[in-house]
Structure formats: structure tokens, C-alpha cells
Structure 1
């Protein structure tokens, strides 16, 4: 409306008051505020559960701690009993078969399975060594006889004759003398064979000599002992 001011001039027409925002606009603004708050909350949660400052996952109070592996008891811990290592199988050791009771040099001996043996003679000779490792010198030549009292042929290739000398039973070294003639071939039942063996033995150590005769693997040795001085 227009009017006249108090100084007689023309009154300025009053401007209409601005219209209040509608209810729909207020509703849109409220919704926008809610969405903004929700986005901020989601961003905060995602940032909190995501990578930490160095790019590694950040630890949270609700995360489950990793299960630690319990150390096994060792020999160094008190009260612990160490598990013994598995024992390696021991290699088989070749053992000499048992020996029969010794008999005098001039007596026969029996193996217990039908085979018997005798020491026919023990002779002192100057042995002649042949081949590498053989040294000529004082020696004893021993003649042994074997009789096959079994029902089967006896393989004489398995016969072993050994000699020791002195009170300490020092093993005598076999000598490849030309006069030696070891057992060989097969011996028929009831038959007797003879073998000759030469051993290096010092003349001053012949007071006690022991001759051992084994006719096959695993059979007891037939043993003869006496003086060859």
C-alpha cells in the first residue's frame, strides 16, 4: 500500500515479506542431511576396518588373536623326556663257530657230526715264501687227515686249518711254501684225505702250538694242542 510520509512526500510502497519454504523443500533438505551423515559414518567405519597407515590391516579390539602353536617338549626343558633316536640296525658280525675241547697233537678229534681229524705230523722246516707278502724263514709244516664218517660226500673246499703258537696264542702267518697241499675236491663217505699246510713260526716259540681244523662253515673246530719244539 502507498501513503504519504509525515513530511508531506509520497510514501514508499511496502515490499511483501519473503514466502516461507514449503514443506516439501524442508523434507528434501532433511533427507539430504540424513544421507550425508550416513555417508560420513560409512566412510569412518570403512577407514577404521581397512588398511592402517603403512598399508597393513589395522588391528581392532574385536579381532580374534592368532592361535599360537604350543612348543613340543624338548630335552632342554625341565621335566621333558627326549625321544630316543631310532637305532640303526647294526651290521652282522661274522662270529667264529664254537670249538671242541682241545686234544693232544697225537690224538684224533671229532667234530660231532661224523667227521674226524688227526694231526699226522708237525715238522720244522726252512720255509720258502712264494708270491707277494711271503717271507722265507723258519716254519712248521703241518699234515692233517680228515675222515668222512657221514653218509654224504664232504666238500673239502670249505676246510680251514689255523695255527697259533706260544702261551699268548699268537696267530701264525700261512706261508705259500712249495710243499703245501691244502684240502680240495670232495671226500666220499668212509674215505680219508690228507692236507699239508705251512706256517711261519719262530723256533723259540714252539713250546705250545695249537692247530684248529674246521671242515665246513658253522661246524665246530677240532682243536689239537701240544709242543712242537
Structure 2
């Protein structure tokens, strides 16, 4: 016949049973958390079927494949053709500029030059003067003062705003330095119909170099560039 268990012993047995049950539950919860953290219970070490967070998907066409060694990438031929076309266009423009340049007519130093129908130009006087240094870059010394006259026999004003006058001397056509004094004055902006206009231009020219001068007049608005060539000894 067994002896009866004391109430205190029964309490200890029940407490131990509950502790064991609680520990088992805690282990099961931990296992479940681990499995859920792996993603849908996939076994450790397996690769997910879709890219995970932070993975960079590959977009079709985002990166062109590099051509094999020794071959050029597609489109290089088109770039070369475009460059060649640009070079040809530039060359054509340069050629056109040469074709469209105003012609030059050389006349005697005392001649009347025909610029256009009823438009003429001539040198009305040559004077030896002592050039004065007034503007920056000017140098005083022997000079020539040339007076040019432009006659407009047309029925419309002749624009002279773009007119240019230059002088060179000697066999090497040395450019003469332009001076403003004494007595230099530009051509007016226009020549009215049926009238004449003149301008005085001073150039530094050595006294021993005046036997061969070339005075160039470019009116721009009409006619060719006129060169008055000859001796300006006065």
C-alpha cells in the first residue's frame, strides 16, 4: 500500500511541468521566427526565385555589348561621314568666298576710274606734307596727302559708309601708315544724286619711295576695287 503524497510535493511536480511546457513553447516560437525570417520557409542556403531587396535588375538594352577586339562600334561610319560632310561644306564656303570677292581694276594715278554706270572716282590732288603724330600709333614724318573725289551721276544716293582707302609703296608694296593730320578728312556717308564728294587721306611715305605708289579705293557699295598706280613725286 503506497503512502499518500503530501500537498507540498504535488505543488512542486505541477510547477516543474509548467516550466517544461513553457520552455518548449519558447523553443517553437524561436524556430518559427527563424523560418519566417528566411522568407516563406525556404531552406538555408537556397536562392530566392526573385531578386531580393537592393538587387539591381538588368534592363534590356541599357548597356550595349562591346564589339569584338579589332572591330569598330556601330555608328562610327556614320560619324566619319558626318565629319567628312562638314569638312566639304567648309571647303565649299572658302571657295565661294574667293569667287564672290570683288574684282580689282588698276588704272593710272591720274586716271578717272569707272566704278559703275554714271559713278566715277579719281585722285584730284597729291601733296607732300609733314605728317603729324596725333592719334596713338601714329609717327610724325614725311607724308603724302591724297584727295579722292567720287562723282555720282545716278538718280539715287550713293552709300559711302563702307568705303576703305589704303596706300602702299615700293616694289614690295609696303603698307603705308595712315595719319589723321595735317588736313585729313573722311569721305561723307553718301553722295547725293548729280553731285560729287571728296575726302583727304594722309599716309606716311618716305620721300624716296614716292615713285611707285598704289592707292586702293574700295567703295563696297558699287563697282570693283580700284587701284591708282604710278608716281606720286610732287
Q: TM-score, normalised by structure 2?
A: 0.60
User: 41, 46, 53: which one pairs with 2:43?
Assistant: 46
Residue of structure 2 in register with 1:129 after alignment: 133
Query: What whole-Å deviation, never above 9, does each CA across 1:89-136 have from its counterpart, x for those lacking one?
Result: 97x999895233200101111113532100112222211221322211
Matched positions, count: 175
Distance in 2 (alpha carbons) for counterparts of 1:148 and 1:201: 30
In structure 2, list runs of 5 or more residues that go unmatched: 1-39, 53-57
User: What SS is found at the alignment partner of 2:161?
Assistant: helix
Point out the structure with max Rg over C-alpha: 1
Query: Residues 75-224 of structure 1 correspond to what in structure 2 (within 5 A)?
Result: 78-80=70-72, 81=76, 83-84=79-80, 97-217=101-221, 219-224=223-228
Distance in 2 (alpha carbons) for counterparts of 1:49 and 1:219: 92
User: What SS is found at the alignment partner of 2:105?
Assistant: coil
Which protein is richer in helix relative to its size? 2
Q: Quick one: structure 1 residues 178 and 97, their matched pair in 2 at CA, closer, same or farther if it must change by over 3 Å? A: farther
Aligned partners of 1:115 and 1:150 also within 8 Å: yes
Alignment RMSD (CA, Å): 3.9
Single out whichever of 98-107 and 65-74 deviates more from structure 2: 65-74
Deviation at residue 165 of structure 1 after TM alignment:
1.2
In structure 1, list runs of 5 or more residues that go unmatched: 1-42, 58-64
Q: Which runs of 4+ in 1 moved over 6 A?
A: 65-68, 92-96
Residue of structure 2 in register with 1:31 after alignment: none
